[in-house]
Structure 1
Amino acid sequence: MLQSGYINFFNANKCGLYRHFSEVPKGLDLAETFSKLKNWKNGRNFEATNPWDAGKNKNKTPCYCHAVHHDEETGDYFLVLWKGDSDRHGPLYGITVNADGTIEQAVEQTKTKTNKQMIWGRPCYYWVIPELDIIASIKFDNSRTDSAMFQDWVSGCMNFRVPLPEYKVSSTEKGFTRFEMIDDDEDKFKYYFQFDLSMKSLSTSSAEMQDLARRVTQIVRRETVSIKEVDKRKGFANYFRKFTVPFISAEDNSSRKVELRIEAQPTTKEIEKIIETHATNHDANVWEDVGFVLDNKPGKIVWASKYRLTEHISIEDNGRPVFQATDIYATIKASRDRYLAPLKKDILTKQAEANG
């Protein structure tokens, strides 16, 4: 059956070892980081690819690595991760873990008839493009995208699991991993691994973005505010520390949906920053969002996600719920030039603007 999905692009703002307040990494750039992740994954069984101890990190979503594919011609990496998930978001899938640590093909929960150990969840697909410092997530109906989890998984593996004998590695009292250079006697600095992504938006020079900047009159921000735990509020909701809901008891529901509208006429650069920081995923069917009111018409809102840089993809699933990394990357590679053309154009435009 032919499955259709979409590709969302992210800027890899940081990847590597950084000193405090430094913007330039000392080592472990995008290509080196994922090369080491691939080598590490190849020597481990499926369960051991979750970087967090489930007993000590109950607030962390379990995340396992199903496969890492490297294309030597392009330098790209393609990862299939496995996000531990509940069944409230649609069909759930299970991977059988054998006694020797090997795994079998994933199956849908309703079709499972086995007494073997199963790890339940959904696949997540990520395309890493070191050439452009870009990462893309690929979303299908039966898969998930979670950029925060992906960032946590990469950082967790590099900080706590992947062997890095070329560095002196130690832990601080607060549990942070610290790296020091072994082969450079003059470098006495302490480094920390950082991996940070932001959504890739349309170029600020595009006609759509230019038109949007001319028409925006208000910025809309939606959040869910906790009624009971006021000390744990985040974002603008943190300012409503004395927020009360008239005539409604907090006992019937511990949170309320809040919408804030602010008069503003942001520049294209500011709009780009808003989109790349706050735009939601296409599959995020939640209240939290950011948008723009156009032409002083309160009912005319366009959401920031509309201006994300996206592409579409179609691939034959061959009756399997999880795509093989090699198969899906082969499909991507066949259209790679088309997918990357807008990104390369945007990079060249920004370089030209920076050079005056």
Structure 2
Amino acid sequence: MLQSGHINFFNVDKCGLYSFSGKDPVALTLPDTFEKLTEWAKARSFETTNPWDPKKNKNKTPCYCHKVHFDEATGDYLLVLWKGENDKHGPLYGMTIAADGKPDQKPIKQADKPKKGKVVWGRPCYYWVIPKAQCIASIKFENSRCDSNMFQDWVAGSMNFRVELPEYKKVTTDSGLVRLQFSEDESNPYKYYYQFDLSLRTLSTSSAPLQELGKKVTHIIRRETVSLNVKDERKGWVKTFGEIILPYASNKDSKSRKVELTVEARPTVEEIRDIIEKFGSTSDSADGDDVGFVLDNGRTVWAKQYRHSETFSINDDGNDILDAKYLYQTLSANRSRYLAPIFKDMRAAKTGTDK
């Protein structure tokens, strides 16, 4: 059956070892990180690729590594991760774990009778790692999930707590922060820590849609969900609004409330791009937290409309979970076209020319 895939691109803002005062990584950059993650995941049983103990970390979404494909020609990686879930929204699949700790190649569906052995229920997540473009792409299908926060947590958690780094010394502070030291650098004890941060990538400032948007914006809208029963440590309007009691407010018994703030503004194209990348939603949900813009004709447009994204089709051959190598081969057929805007921006940043 032919499936439609949707690709969203993310900037890799940070990846590697950073000193507490440094802006640039000193080691474990994007290619090094995923080389080590790949070696580690291939040597582990399926369940032990979740970097957190589910009994001790109930607030963390279980995430496992199902398959990794590495392309030597480009240096790209295609990861199939498994988001552990038990909700009933959409198709749910079970990964049966064999006696050797490896998952069966063909997952079962909710309606199927589980085979003997443990079953890990969840959904696949597909991520394309492109070190030469310093970016990550998530690939979304109807039966898969995209969760950029989970992906960032999985990478950082695996590197901090599970992947062996014999060239470094590790220490965990009382607050849970993992600090590292180069083995031969005794003069800088535990000066470094690992970071992995992504941000949504928008269209180039020179693109026609963003240029047209820049001419029409009159207001900026910030939409967030405010918790009503948990102490909110955030500063500014979000925290303040959570304390305001309004008459006739809906969902009085709810644990949270959706709040929108509209501010009059005339941002430049560069500022619009920065706003989208910092505050634009990365969620699959249509009604999640996001940032939007009111135009001079009164119409509202949301940030996700200006993501750097692509669509494609792939034949799943009757498989619910796509093979990592097969998916990568399909994507690589149009790799140059997909990545052209990114490489253009990278060249512009180097030369200091307008994007």
The TM-score range, normalised by the shorter chain, is over 0.9
Kept in 2, the 8 Å contact 1:225–1:233? The answer is no
Partner of 2:23: 23
Counterparts of 1:1-356 in structure 2 under 5 Å? 1-104=1-104, 105-184=106-185, 187-188=188-189, 190-229=191-230, 231=232, 236-247=237-248, 252-281=253-282, 283-295=284-296, 297-298=297-298, 300-353=299-352
Q: Write out per-residue CA displacement over residues 316-340 of structure 1, whole angstroms, 9 at most, x where no aligned residue.
A: 1111110111110111112111211
Using structure 1 for the length normalisation, give the TM-score: 0.93
- Local SS of the residue matching 2:352: helix
Structure 1 residues 252, 320: CA separation in 2 closer, same or farther (over 3 Å shift)?
same
Q: How much has 1:230 moved relative to structure 2?
A: 5.3
Kept in 2, the 8 Å contact 1:19–1:189? The answer is no
In structure 1, give the amino acid aligned to 2:348: T
- Local SS of the residue matching 2:347: helix
Kept in 2, the 8 Å contact 1:204–1:272? The answer is yes
Q: Write out per-residue CA displacement over residues 21-46 of structure 1, whole angstroms, 9 at most, x where no aligned residue.
A: 31111100000000000110111110
Count how many residue pairs are aligned between Structure 1 and Structure 2: 354
Q: Write out per-residue CA displacement over residues 224-254 of structure 1, whole angstroms, 9 at most, x where no aligned residue.
A: 2333435466773212243112145975333
**1: CA distance between counterparts of 2:248 and 2:333?**
59
- Out of 166-175 and 148-157, give the one that drifted further: 166-175
**1: CA distance between counterparts of 2:294 and 2:254?**
29
- Local SS of the residue matching 1:17: strand
Q: Write out per-residue CA displacement over residues 69-121 of structure 1, whole angstroms, 9 at most, x where no aligned residue.
A: 11111111111000012333201011001122121121221234434311000
Over the matched positions of the two proteins, sequence identity in percent amounts to: 53
- Local SS of the residue matching 2:181: strand
- Local SS of the residue matching 1:157: helix
Kept in 1, the 8 Å contact 2:348–2:354? The answer is no
In structure 1, give the amino acid aligned to 2:344: K
Cα RMSD after superposing both structures: 2.1
Q: Write out per-residue CA displacement over residues 153-192 of structure 1, whole angstroms, 9 at most, x where no aligned residue.
A: 0000000000000011111121211110123456556100
**2: CA distance between counterparts of 1:144 and 1:235?**
32
- Local SS of the residue matching 1:330: helix
- Local SS of the residue matching 1:110: coil
Kept in 2, the 8 Å contact 1:171–1:178? The answer is yes
**1: CA distance between counterparts of 2:280 and 2:264?**
19
Q: How much has 1:315 moved relative to structure 2?
A: 1.2
Structure 1 residues 250, 108: CA separation in 2 closer, same or farther (over 3 Å shift)?
closer
Kept in 2, the 8 Å contact 1:18–1:193? The answer is yes
**2: CA distance between counterparts of 1:250 and 1:87?**
22
In structure 1, give the amino acid aligned to 2:137: A
In structure 2, give the amino acid aligned to 1:178: R
**2: CA distance between counterparts of 1:330 and 1:129?**
14
Q: How much has 1:284 moved relative to structure 2?
A: 1.6
Structure 1 residues 338, 239: CA separation in 2 closer, same or farther (over 3 Å shift)?
same
- Local SS of the residue matching 1:48: helix
Structure 1 residues 58, 183: CA separation in 2 closer, same or farther (over 3 Å shift)?
same
**2: CA distance between counterparts of 1:249 and 1:13?**
38
**2: CA distance between counterparts of 1:98 and 1:316?**
28
Kept in 2, the 8 Å contact 1:201–1:276? The answer is yes
Structure 1 residues 249, 204: CA separation in 2 closer, same or farther (over 3 Å shift)?
closer
In structure 1, give the amino acid aligned to 2:156: S
Kept in 1, the 8 Å contact 2:146–2:283? The answer is no
Structure 1 residues 287, 158: CA separation in 2 closer, same or farther (over 3 Å shift)?
closer
Structure 1 residues 287, 133: CA separation in 2 closer, same or farther (over 3 Å shift)?
closer
Kept in 2, the 8 Å contact 1:3–1:317? The answer is yes
- Local SS of the residue matching 1:145: coil
**2: CA distance between counterparts of 1:99 and 1:13?**
40
- Out of 94-103 and 284-293, give the one that drifted further: 284-293
Using structure 2 for the length normalisation, give the TM-score: 0.94
Kept in 2, the 8 Å contact 1:279–1:304? The answer is yes
In structure 2, give the amino acid aligned to 1:22: G
**1: CA distance between counterparts of 2:236 and 2:164?**
37
